[in-house]
Structure 1
């Protein structure tokens, strides 16, 4: 087993973001979409930094989709806010 480097710790930060966002979404009766999608986007970005150094192609593709969905969610929230 190799020692953990800075990239691994950045990846753990991303993992924590995604888990926290999912917990918040599940626990909240009226989740804030900016918080959910923003935290998911941050998590995907941090995990991507880790995965660029420690390449795992399936996980890297997953993070690309995760980030795209988060950006879509943020865009929807901004548009909805402008209509309100």
Structure 2
């Protein structure tokens, strides 16, 4: 890989950091906040998708689509649970 990193690569690195950070948070917290967990995962998937749209890797792009869908589902589930408790 001789090409220098561009802005889209850096955006992808930030997305990767979000997903790794969310996984660390899930593992480290006794009662993780689902909005933080899934929101960070969704942000990471979105940023990685931006990077992958420029530097296309179809299997990774599909993975990020599923990652984002699961995060959205988790946010919706947390939102419904929050409304039931109110």
Q: TM-score range by the shorter chain?
A: over 0.9
TM-score between both structures, scaled by the size of structure 1: 0.99
TM-score between both structures, scaled by the size of structure 2: 0.97
Q: CA RMSD in A?
A: 0.3
Aligned counterparts of 1:2 and 1:70: Cα–Cα separation in 2: 33
Report the counterpart of residue 35 of structure 1 in structure 2.
36
| Structure 2 residue 16 is matched with structure 1 residue 15 | yes
Aligned positions, number: 84
Aligned counterparts of 1:23 and 1:2: Cα–Cα separation in 2: 31
Which consecutive unaligned segments of at least 5 residues does structure 2 have?
none
Which consecutive unaligned segments of at least 5 residues does structure 1 have?
none
